[in-house]
Copies of this chain bind each other. A is one copy, B any other.
Amino acid sequence: MRYFVAVAEELHFGRAAQRLGIAQPPLSRAIRHLERRLGAALLTRTSRAVALTDAGAVLLREARAALDAVEAAERRTRRAARAAPGRPGVALATKAGASGALLARLLDAYAAEPDAVAVDLLLCGIGEQERMLRDGRADVALLHLPYDGTAGLDTEELCTEGQVVVLPAGHPLTDRSEVQTAEVSELPGLPLPRWPGPDGSYPDGPGPQARDHTQLFQLIALGRTCWIAPESCRDQLREDLATVPVPDAPPVTTVIAWPPHSRSRAVAALVRAATRV
């Protein structure tokens, strides 16, 4: 299945084999073997191009999920085994620079629980937490609706907050008591920044590229961009930035999420602590 996913992603046997660290002929054979076993044509190969069939597209999605599941099984077992001295405990994934105060209160509340174990913090990029939960690098995560997907995860809502626009201090708009999203997206000279997608490439557009919040805030301070963020980001804002509420931006709900079949005592305690803060 790993082999098939590699070929389906590359659509090229040679490159896929290289990526897998094997030679091309065994890969061809393995795929053909898989097709025989499933009784389904997965790929249409001409001598110039490889394409997915419908069944192949189904398998690609399902196989990714399956591979994540076995990877998760291995990782979580390793983590559980290392937990003997109680050291690494539970892995919590959260967006770097988001919900700072909430996170601090959550960790405090959990630490006060009777049988609390150490919490391993995983600071993720945009939308990375979901993947970490799925492949077992994390046991529990803080997500932000509606930006993160929670499909297939159990969740508990923690808090909902409005959004603000982050501007350079002294920008004309900072005198206003509130602004509309439409205004923000049309600010002359302040196009919204572009973030890298999961594959690391940036979408096209007018805004500057930003890879993390430090870069972003620097760009805002320099008057090159602006940004709409949950209002709790004001806790950790630089002095040279200002915020204005944006009432018509969608409210952001912070939720705590965990894989649905998790029965870990630590995760349960963490969720319990979270719902109390």
Interface size on A, residues (CB 8 A): 40
CA distance A231 to B11 in the complex (A): 54
Q: How many whole Å from A155's CB to the nearest CB in chain B?
A: 11
Judge whether A38 and B261 touch: CB under 8 Å.
no
Q: Which of B40, B151, B153, B154 contacts A81 (CB 8 A)?
A: B40
Q: Which of A68-84 contact B (CB under 8 A)?
A: 68-70, 72-74, 76-78, 80-83
Q: Is A59 an interface residue (CB 8 A)?
A: yes
Asked if A176 is at the interface of the complex by the 8 Å CB criterion, the answer is: no
* A262, chain B: closest CB distance, angstroms: 8
Copy number in the complex reads: 2
Q: Is A55 an interface residue (CB 8 A)?
A: yes
A152 at the binding interface (Cβ < 8 Å): yes
- Does A168 reach chain B (CB closer than 8 Å)? no
Query: Which A residues between 59 and 110 are near B, CB-CB below 8 angstroms?
Result: 59, 61-66, 68-70, 72-74, 76-78, 80-83
A258 to chain B, nearest CB (A): 10
Contact B38 A58 (CB under 8 A): no
A-B complex: 7 closest residue pairs judged by Cβ atoms: A40-B81, A152-B260, A62-B73, A151-B260, A66-B69, A55-B81, A69-B69
Chain A interfacial positions (CB closer than 8 Å to B): 1, 38-42, 53-55, 58-59, 61-66, 68-70, 72-74, 76-78, 80-83, 136, 151-154, 259-261, 263-264
Can you sample 29 A-B contacts with CB below 8 Å? A1-B70, A1-B73, A38-B74, A39-B81, A40-B78, A40-B80, A40-B82, A41-B81, A53-B81, A54-B80, A55-B81, A58-B76, A58-B264, A62-B69, A62-B73, A62-B136, A64-B261, A65-B261, A66-B69, A66-B70, A66-B72, A66-B73, A68-B69, A69-B70, A151-B154, A151-B260, A151-B261, A152-B153, A153-B260
